[in-house]
Amino acid sequence: MLALVPSSALLAALVAGLVGAHVRAVRSVAPPGAGSPAVRRAGRRALGWRWAGAAVGAAAAWAVAGTGTLGRGPMLAPAALGLGLLAGVLVGELAVRPRTAGRRSAALAVRRTRDVLPRRTAVAVAAAAVVLLVLLATTTALGSPDDLGRAGRSLSGSCSPSTGFSSGPWPGSYYSAPLAAAVTGGLLAAALVLRRITGRPAVGGTAELVDADAVLRRRAGEAVTAACGVLVTAPLAGALVITVVTGSHHPCPTAAGTAGLVVAGLLVPAATGLLGWCAAVLLVPGTSLRRAPVPA
Amino acid sequence: MSPVPQLVVADDDPTPPYEQVRVQLAELVTTGALRPGDRLPPLRQLAADLGIAVGTVGRAYRELEVAGLVVSRRGGGTRVAPGAAVAAPARGGARLEALALHFASRARGLGAGDDEVLAAARSALAALARDERGADSSPAPAHGRG
């Protein structure tokens, strides 16, 4: 019974942390006194849908993690979480309906996708996606069938004509094909959500409302970027670790192979750190937009 | 940084929405509020923000293009025409024409006939003249104290 106390305390602390983060997030979506009630309402509604998407994504990730064989389920779980997060953002943006009655105003400014993205985080996530692509292409090219003939599940080779070597698991085609499909699908979904974020109706056309509306759009863009970060960096960190561990078992590595493993090892903390940053951004909207203008 | 120009569409205005958009955009171009090369919002964006159909904004853009005030390129969006630079802010005649067009369009929307519109314009000019005469004949305000 006493053994349950630490885990219960940990769970309570986690729940308290999430509630605190949520309260802070609700307040930060539209600072008190900023914008109009319509802006604050739209901000709260969007945030509510984002949390609902996170909950659905977490449930989907849990379900996906329990499926698949030889670790493919857990590998695809972050993609399920990311897709849930993206769905939440999309529904939140779809909830903003156009004004069709009375006097409506619109600013004559062109909204662009790059204006709603947090620049540094987006660049880091894009770089992580490129690294994942290069890593998967390399490991797929080097993969071999395992002892049961499953293609691309082990790393094989020979140091001499008489000695063979085979080690696994290895992130070859057995893992890389479904992972690449899931990540590509997630990134395409993110592109569609970004299109909706810039294209959805504005909550108002006055200068003050345009500014407040821009903040809401940037926070939605931030959530999409962070969701992509989770989608990319979680499998990247896992694939890097497995590559380093399995690759280090090679009995006669080449100089290029050793250098590749060193680089992969150095990238593990970078990918993990970016994953943590994206999780923080999702928990506390506005984290990556501290320098963005906030409606007065 | 100059404020971003805005468009307004009102349901209680009898002028059709496409005409409201066209007149306001023409005025912004001819008064120099929108400069040559400035990009106008995409049709879908402006239609969503104003709560009107995409085709309504498209009609306004087409008529502005026919008038030589904007140019549209596939994939490049709609921009204020380079020619509008010379024609618009520098030439008082074009500005006056745009203002008159705006006034006439609104007056026509209220159901006024040509004679009534002209009479209203003459009446407004007369009122302005009276104001100016009044300002000229009134004593000059004292500047400073003592």
Q: What is the ipTM of this complex?
A: 0.73
CB contact under 8 A, A106 and B46: yes
The DSSP element (H or E) to which A188 belongs, if any, is helix A173-199
Per-residue pLDDT reduced to its tens digit, A82-107: 999 999 999 999 998 888 788 888 98
Instruction: Among A104, A111, A210, pick the best mutation site for testing chain B contact (most B Cβ within 10 A).
Output: A104
pLDDT at residue A34 in the model: 58
pLDDT at residue A27 in the model: 59
Taking CB atoms and an 8 Å cutoff, what residues of chain A touch B54? none
Residue of A119, A150, A138 lying closest to A247 (CA atoms): A138
Q: How far apart are CA B74 and CA A113, in angstroms?
A: 19
Per-residue pLDDT reduced to its tens digit, B90-99: 455 666 676 7
Per-residue pLDDT reduced to its tens digit, B58-114: 999 999 999 999 999 888 899 999 877 554 444 556 666 767 777 777 777 777 888
CB contact under 8 A, B10 and A103: yes
Q: What is the mean pLDDT of residues B11-38?
A: 90
Instruction: Among B1, B31, B45, pick the best mutation site for testing chain A contact (most A Cβ within 10 A).
Output: B45
Cβ pairs bridging A and B (under 8 Å): 74
Q: Closest residue of B to A99, CA-based?
A: B51
Nearest CB among B7, B39, B44 relative to A199 is that of B44
Per-residue pLDDT reduced to its tens digit, A38-81: 788 888 899 899 999 999 999 999 999 999 788 899 999 999 99
Residue of B48, B100, B107, B97 lying closest to B69 (CA atoms): B97
CB contact under 8 A, A201 and B48: yes
Q: Across chain A, what does the average pLDDT equal?
A: 86
pLDDT at residue A73 in the model: 92
What values do phi and psi take at A117, rounded to 5? -95, 140
Residue of A201, A236, A239 lying closest to A217 (CA atoms): A201
User: Model pTM?
Assistant: 0.77
Pairing, β A163-167 against β A154-160? antiparallel
Q: Where are the domains of chain A?
A: 4-27+56-98+107-159+166-283
Q: 76-115 in B: which are within 8 Å (CB) of A?
A: 77
